[in-house]
Structure 1
Amino acid sequence: MLAEAEDRFLDVRHEPDDPRGQADRTLRLRRLGKLGDMGLATEHGPGLWELSERLEPTLREMGERNDIIRTMQKALRAEGAERDPMSFAIHDAAPATPVVGRVIDKHLSDELGEELTLVVDGIDGRTHHVAGIDPVRVAEARIGSIVEIGPPDSAGRPSDRAIASIAEGGVYRPSRHLEQARFEGRVPSGDYDGFIASHVRRLEALSRAGIVERIDVDQWRIPEDFAIRAAAHDAGRGGRANVRILSTFDLDRQIGADGATWLDRRLVGGAVSDLVPAGFGEQVREAMEQRRERLIGQGDATRHQDGRVSYRRNLIATLQDREVARVGAELAAMKSVPFRAVADGEMVSGMFTGTAQLSSGKFAIVEKSHEFTLVPWRPVIERHLGREVAGVVQGGSVSWQMGRQRGLEF
């Protein structure tokens, strides 16, 4: 009908002589009636219709929305859950207010692999569909992981900062970046070609926006204010959502964990007002109660006669130390090298050889020839994998230094 309409007007007043034409006219009239109910077509007289200029984009958007709803329902069914589609929240851009919940689906949003989509069953009683997420931000998130998705991070993308740091004389060379990445061993997966290709894809996208210029197959012209302009470009497109992984452990694993979990932090903080008594919000309430009973049973919490529950002083630090000691002993048996726990305020140094994902969070493995230790991981040391690192443990974090250089920011 769109193809046959003249200036959006369609004339179906005359009934064809042949049966096939009559049947087709009947179908068109029924469809036009439906479009009229949707406000996408107007009948100016019997059989004379005007199609709205919004008809095609509106129907396309509705089709995409229906596809998204089916994807969300499929993900929920895989988790054994059912939710009213009226509770679905489909975000065209980063959520204006943070969304906290469990990941129930994670898939690529585009063929180039530059963006991911997460479906999150929220503690607010809604199921959220958020597209356009930086894959690097959620590399460790699994189905069941607890995440927080919020407004864009004003700091910009790590890939943009890497491109700016590699560029020399305003020119970025993928081959130079590849050499440095291989030398530093900064790609844990070992897919160096794929790592560099992701940066090139980013540049191709920015070249379409006129921010960068391809000189040849191995050279890109990068402006001095590249990172700022790239961040502004993202902000103009709504910006990518900022994602924090609150726990890689699902609720069941957190309930029985010996470390400091997301549930423990909520219990100590007394946070319950944001939990809607339905869906995943109700599941979190139940999990918190089960975790509370476990803490009481192992002597880390006490229930008083009035029903009030008090927790061990420095509960989070105590649970974390307990888990680190256990994991350290297990790794020591595998490595045949003694594990040594570090105290607050102590300097730690050695080779950064890998990471360990605990319920208390992600930890860096720092080894010396005669011992190794586990310290809280921070993104700033990721590119120093396989190299000597040094830092001071302070308040559950590490202030990293490299030799005599000034402290690294993170």
Structure 2
Amino acid sequence: MNLDAKGGGKVRFIIDGTDGYVSTVETGMDTRAGEAAKVGSIIEVSPPSLRTVDRNIQALAIGKDYHGKPRDGLIGNYAIATSGPDDWTDGRGSRGAAHIRAHRLRLATLAEAGVVEVVSQDKDGDPYEWRVPKDFEQRAIALDMKQGRASGVKLLSVQDLEAQLDSQGSTWLDRSQVSWSKGAIDQMCSNQSAFAKELDAAFRRRQSWLMQRGYAQARPDGTVSYQRGYVKALEQEGFSAATQKLEGITGKPFIAAQAGRLIEGTVKQKYELTQGPHALIETQRAFYLVPWESAHVQRWGKRIKGRVLSGGGIDWDAGRNRGIGR
């Protein structure tokens, strides 16, 4: 894949596809692919579709309310809250709060663009109920396409194939090994595609690497079995290597984000790992490395505070009020 041009809020890629054709595709600069992909990165191109939050909004709009009556396109805060994690009811639920916040932010964007209509507001003047049109799917996708966010371009790996072959951390080749072994990836490839042949050779070489490391082994029937949890183990290896490198760069020790810990520091850097982007959060004496979230964009260069959850993830709204309105 070659980066052709950037401009106008979009990124244009020239791609060598597994179908044997060279083509171009565009995506928004603020998408994951538009922001991080580079020459040699692996991307997947598919028809535009609803984002996850939009699928839930649509499902609520055509579903039934608490009393079993059709909503007929009308949804409110309570419906949104009860469609997600149930921990919002205890007053400390962060997953439920994040679910509500994501839906309200998306609905605000949709309302501003005229895709949905605000029907009522709470006592503070904030939107409380929305009317979702019957053609919501088409209109939501059209809005995303207009903003350059619905091109169907998905970033599979920032690394090119050569870099993945000897990577200490988990790679797209590792995550796709089982599918490749079963022939699922071959079905998407043209036998005449140079990239498909390169891809097949890369999978074989990475498979040998995994076998040498004890993450896979050959069976008597000629097939290969993979150690359970091998991708997670590789992720941890890569993460440990990254923190050691950053300790040398920053001159500060790394602190693990253990459950219950309150993380407080300055968002300093977006650091790419093979499993995805992470935020480098520094204090005066140490640093944390945590999965990247939209909250880090909003607090770039500023202090941020969050509580590590026992079930995984971090509550970046720690200490804030979490009501559902009215």
Same fold (TM over 0.5): yes
Q: Residue 308 of structure 2 aligns with which residue?
A: 392
CA-CA distance at 1:391 after TM superposition: 4.2
For this pair of structures, how many residues does the alignment match? 234
Q: Residue 176 of structure 1 aligns with which residue?
A: none
Q: Does 1:124 align with 2:31?
A: no
> 1:341-360 alignment to 2 at 5 Å?
341-342=256-257, 345=259, 347=261, 349-351=263-265, 352-360=267-275
Distance 1:223 1:364 in 2: 26
Distance 2:143 2:278 in 1: 36
Q: Residue 113 of structure 2 aligns with which residue?
A: 227
Please tell me whether the aligned partners of residues 391 and 400 of structure 1 are also in contact (alpha carbons under 8 angstroms): yes
1:354-373 superposed Cα distances (whole Å, 9 cap, x missing partner): 12112222111123333322
1:101-137 superposed Cα distances (whole Å, 9 cap, x missing partner): xx223314x6xx2333221112233322224x21222
SS across alignment from 1:147 = strand
Q: Residue 94 of structure 2 aligns with which residue?
A: none
Q: Residue 77 of structure 2 aligns with which residue?
A: none
> 1:373-392 alignment to 2 at 5 Å?
373-385=288-300, 386-392=302-308
SS across alignment from 1:225 = helix
Q: Does 1:256 align with 2:166?
A: yes
Matched residue type, 1:243 = V
Q: Residue 370 of structure 1 aligns with which residue?
A: 285
CA-CA distance at 1:394 after TM superposition: 7.1
Please tell me whether the aligned partners of residues 104 and 144 of structure 1 are also in contact (alpha carbons under 8 angstroms): yes
CA-CA distance at 1:268 after TM superposition: 3.4
Distance 1:228 1:251 in 2: 43
> 1:99-114 alignment to 2 at 5 Å?
103-108=1-6, 113-114=8-9
> 1:73-92 alignment to 2 at 5 Å?
none
Q: Does 1:301 align with 2:216?
A: yes
Q: 1:242 to 1:405 in 2, by over 3 A?
A: farther
Q: 1:116 to 1:318 in 2, by over 3 A?
A: same
> 1:130-209 alignment to 2 at 5 Å?
130-131=25-26, 133-137=27-31, 138-152=34-48, 154=50
Matched residue type, 1:312 = Q
Q: Does 1:286 align with 2:201?
A: yes
Percent of paired sites with the same residue: 25
SS across alignment from 1:136 = coil
Q: CA RMSD in A?
A: 3.2
Q: 1:348 to 1:106 in 2, by over 3 A?
A: farther
Bigger drift between 242-251 and 334-343 goes to 334-343
Distance 2:25 2:248 in 1: 43
Matched residue type, 1:309 = V
1:266-309 superposed Cα distances (whole Å, 9 cap, x missing partner): 00344423233322122111101100001111222112232221
What is the TM-score of this pair, normalised by structure 2? 0.62
Q: 1:125 to 1:107 in 2, by over 3 A?
A: same
Query: Is there any run of 5+ residues in structure 2 with no aligned partner, and where?
Result: 53-107, 117-137
Query: Is there any run of 5+ residues in structure 1 with no aligned partner, and where?
Result: 1-102, 157-221
Please tell me whether the aligned partners of residues 348 and 393 of structure 1 are also in contact (alpha carbons under 8 angstroms): no
Higher-RCO chain (CA-CA 8 Å, sequence separation at least 6): 2
Q: Residue 361 of structure 1 aligns with which residue?
A: 276
1:312-368 superposed Cα distances (whole Å, 9 cap, x missing partner): 22111111111111110111122121113345x554512222121122221111233
Q: Residue 189 of structure 2 aligns with which residue?
A: 275
Distance 2:286 2:12 in 1: 42
Q: Residue 401 of structure 1 aligns with which residue?
A: 316
CA-CA distance at 1:243 after TM superposition: 2.8
Distance 2:16 2:309 in 1: 36
